[in-house]
């Protein structure tokens, strides 16, 4: 939901008084406030219902609010310009969420739907995500999208998610763990991510599908989901600004750019063992690191790959490679390896997803 508050005059953060307009039903209601612009905008994001109540009161009684002049019957010609000014100072942030890197999780009993502690894992997952959302909002007003990217991608209970965010869930979907991400976003964040398959001391390390994919190389370099999904953001010119998870995935993120912030919520001492921060301390770390990352997002460059883009997929057995080799344009390298080359990154990525789905089909 777009906040109802629109700044009527672009001012520096902290400067008062601030003129603003509440826009509803084609009418603009102008007011002023001695509160700083940043405070007003943040309040609009967090408490839109309060501004809706203000609108109703203004419509009904023509009352002045915060010393304002009451309703303006028709919006001036510059309302659209003022709305554009609002959007120019409101960030748009995309959060992709996986589960293996969530604080407190060390094995599949908390990540698989048919295991006994899955509900505990879901609860830990959404609380880490909410901490990230709170960190974004602490840096300023923002439009936030959260994409559930684990397993069937329907792990987050919508009712438990912070209301400031919209939720993308379900599978399969275009761009998978980054569905809905496009060039309108200013930054993206990966929460609960993990390292690539075979990593020494990486909690539940795997590459997209542990049962099907042995390794993945993009343009000759081995990557995990962090680098792969950062490439989706980079295709649209969006920088990856922060990653949360264990120390292994943090190292993968830093290898892409030292400007990417990381929140290490646990230190792996094996694939299914880790020294974990208390969840509350982990969430505070996520909040603080997110705020820091958002404030300096313009310093981070998007992760990009030269074109044409080549995905080299080594499967866990030959039967899975047999199936993936039917994809038009696929090149069989050896018994377990298939190569896909595409003119742009998104096409290459979707070719990879198709190859994995083919591989999974023959395993059943």
Beta-strand (E) ranges in 67-149? Answer: 71-72, 91-97, 142-148
Q: What is the CB neighbour count within 10 angstroms for residue 53?
A: 11
CA 64 → CA 17, 67, 187, 308, distances in Å? 16, 6, 38, 60
Q: Are 353 and 313 in contact (CB under 8 A)?
A: no
Question: For this structure, is 72 an active site residue?
Answer: no
Per-residue tokens: 178: 């980054």
Q: Are 97 and 125 in contact (CB under 8 A)?
A: yes
Exposure b/e, 132-155, CB count within 10 A at least 16 = b: bbbbbbbbbbbbbbbbbbbeebeb
Q: Name the DSSP letter for residue 253.
A: H
Exposure b/e, 198-225, CB count within 10 A at least 16 = b: ebebbbbbbbbbeebbbbbebbeeebbb
CA 342 → CA 26, 236, 278, 339, 345, distances in Å? 46, 16, 44, 10, 7
Q: Give me the residues paired with residue 31 across strands.
A: 20
SS3 108: helix
CA distance 181 to 238: 9
CA 97 → CA 121, 173, 185, 361, distances in Å? 13, 15, 16, 25
Strands 309-315 and 213-218: antiparallel
**Sign of the four-CA dihedral 25, 26, 31, 33:** positive
- Find the catalytic residue in 31, 206, 217, 278: 206
Q: Which residues are designated catalytic?
A: 206
């Amino acid at each position: 939901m777009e906040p109802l508050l629109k700044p009527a005059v672009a001012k520096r953060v902290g400067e008062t008084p601030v003129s603003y307009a509440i826009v509803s039903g084609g009418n603009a209601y102008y007011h002023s406030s001695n509160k700083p612009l940043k405070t007003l905008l943040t309040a609009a994001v967090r408490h839109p219902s309060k501004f809706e109540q203000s609108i109703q009161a203004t419509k009904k009684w023509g009352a002045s609010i915060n010393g304002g002049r009451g309703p303006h019957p028709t919006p001036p010609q510059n309302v659209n310009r003022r709305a554009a000014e609002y959007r120019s100072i409101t960030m748009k942030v995309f959060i992709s969420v996986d589960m293996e890197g969530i604080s407190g999780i060390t094995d599949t009993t908390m990540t698989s739907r048919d295991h006994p502690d899955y509900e505990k894992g879901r609860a830990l997952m959404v609380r880490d995500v909410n901490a990230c959302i709170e960190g974004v909002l602490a840096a300023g007003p923002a439009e936030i999208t959260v994409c559930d990217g684990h397993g069937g991608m329907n792990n987050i209970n919508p009712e438990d998610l912070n209301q400031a965010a919209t939720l993308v869930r379900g599978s399969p979907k275009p761009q998978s763990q980054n569905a809905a991400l496009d060039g309108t976003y200013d930054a993206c964040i990966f929460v609960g991510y993990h390292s690539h398959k075979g990593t020494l001391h990486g909690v539940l390390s795997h590459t997209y599908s542990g049962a099907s994919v042995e390794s993945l190389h993009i343009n000759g370099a081995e990557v995990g989901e962090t680098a792969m999904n950062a490439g989706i953001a980079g295709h649209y010119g969006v920088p990856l600004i922060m990653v949360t998870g264990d120390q292994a995935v943090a190292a993968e993120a830093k290898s892409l750019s030292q400007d990417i912030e990381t929140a290490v919520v646990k230190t792996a001492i094996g694939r299914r063992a880790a020294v974990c921060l208390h969840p509350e301390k982990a969430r505070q770390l996520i909040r603080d690191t997110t705020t820091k990352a958002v404030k300096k997002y313009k310093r981070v460059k998007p992760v990009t790959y030269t074109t044409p883009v080549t995905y080299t997929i080594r499967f866990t057995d030959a039967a899975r490679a047999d199936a993936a080799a039917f994809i038009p344009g696929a090149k069989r390298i050896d018994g377990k390896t298939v190569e896909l080359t595409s003119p742009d990154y998104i096409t290459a990525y979707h070719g990879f997803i198709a190859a994995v789905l083919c591989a999974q089909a023959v395993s059943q």
